[in-house]
A = this chain, B = another copy of it.
């Protein structure tokens, strides 16, 4: 348990020396805004009770005192004392490098160790459920087996951790050959790896696919770790990587009383340069509308990324069989299928969002 060895303050902030030797600086405005005292946070829901505009303009510090396991900071303008548990202060110190937990990048070799979990155990056992959700978070996908081959089970699986995202395709959609298909997914054609619905904003963060009838003659599943490919592009060709991050391109889907349009980058970074999303869908990419002077270089980068997606070392192929259900991160894992012949093949799919999955996982991890 970390404690505070020494605290120094000036008007602008507090410098804390923790018992493990860590030295951290905390600014006056940050301290006052994050006051953990009773008057600052609601007892029932721990939400902040004040707005930044309700604080004095002058947040200079008058004193800082450590008592037992907390730090009291007094402010000059109004004499208010803000209170912080020392362990909370240590956990929330910002004067440091933030660890970047990288996801588990994978490729074709994962075929011998697919993340597969038993459906009944996921329902009944917290640790197995946690392991399935961790696979989706860390590897981008997790497979359930022994799922009853009944209609609608795909929604039941989404409700284990969250909520179905209903769309113009319904609460769930049927993936099988149709006459006059509104979408190429509903044909027997092979589909290159892609992310679903980049024409939607927000894009569905998760997709679930439940195999009710597999086809003996093809229809194998292809998965590619988009983060792995994008990180490889960043290393091999930083200029191309930059073009795909900085320029947004349009996607569109038209049909069955819908006209869905959205724009976004093929590779999306957060403010720390981490890859947080990949968008790639040859079927629904709308005509790119970048400035003419960028178009040639952009297409070179786009084609390079597309070719990398097809490299054998990145391409994981396996057959999803009857009773298997796959949940995957639609902003990371690209999926596709091989074409299939005349026989039947029937999958049911639905969309969901990642936030509830991650929330459920945090609660499970905190309990374990």
Contacts and interface: CB of A to CB of B under 8 A. Distances in A.
A33 B359 CA distance: 41
Interface stretch (A117-125, A137-145, A301-309, A321-329): A301-309
- Residue of A98, A181, A205, A288 with most partner-chain B CB within 10 A: A288
A312 to B, nearest CB: 13
Interface in A12-30: 12, 25, 27, 29-30
Contacts of A283: 47-49
A248 B260 contact: no
Interface stretch (A70-78, A146-154, A226-234, A348-356): A348-356
A236 interface: no
Contact of A51 (B46, B164, B300, B306): B306
A141 to B, nearest CB: 19
A346 interface: no
A166 interface: yes
A246 B269 CA distance: 12
Contact of A285 (B48, B285, B290, B296): B48
A271 to B, nearest CB: 4
Interface in A187-218: 192, 200-203, 205
Given A167-B163, A355-B260, A52 B94 contact: no
A6 B119 CA distance: 64
Interface stretch (A100-108, A126-134, A250-258): A250-258
Contact of A303 (B29, B45, B263, B292): B29
A94 B359 contact: no
A168 B45 CA distance: 15
Contact of A263 (B164, B184, B270): B270
Nearest to A293: B95
A44 interface: yes
Contact of A270 (B12, B45, B248): B248
A48 to B, nearest CB: 5
A259 interface: yes
Q: How many copies does the complex hold?
A: 2
A3 interface: no
A180 interface: yes
A365 to B, nearest CB: 9
Contacts of A271: 246-248, 263, 265
A44 B181 contact: yes
A8 interface: no
A306 B48 CA distance: 15
A98 B289 contact: yes
A166 B161 CA distance: 12
A166 B164 contact: yes
A81 interface: no
A366 interface: yes
Interface of A: 12, 25, 27, 29-30, 33-34, 42, 44-53, 92, 94-95, 98, 163-168, 180-184, 192, 200-203, 205, 246-248, 254-255, 257-263, 265, 270-272, 282-285, 287-292, 295-296, 299-300, 302-303, 306-307, 309-310, 353-356, 358-359, 362-363, 366
Given A92-B289, A168-B356, 7 more contacts: A29-B299, A53-B310, A94-B288, A94-B292, A95-B292, A202-B203, A247-B271
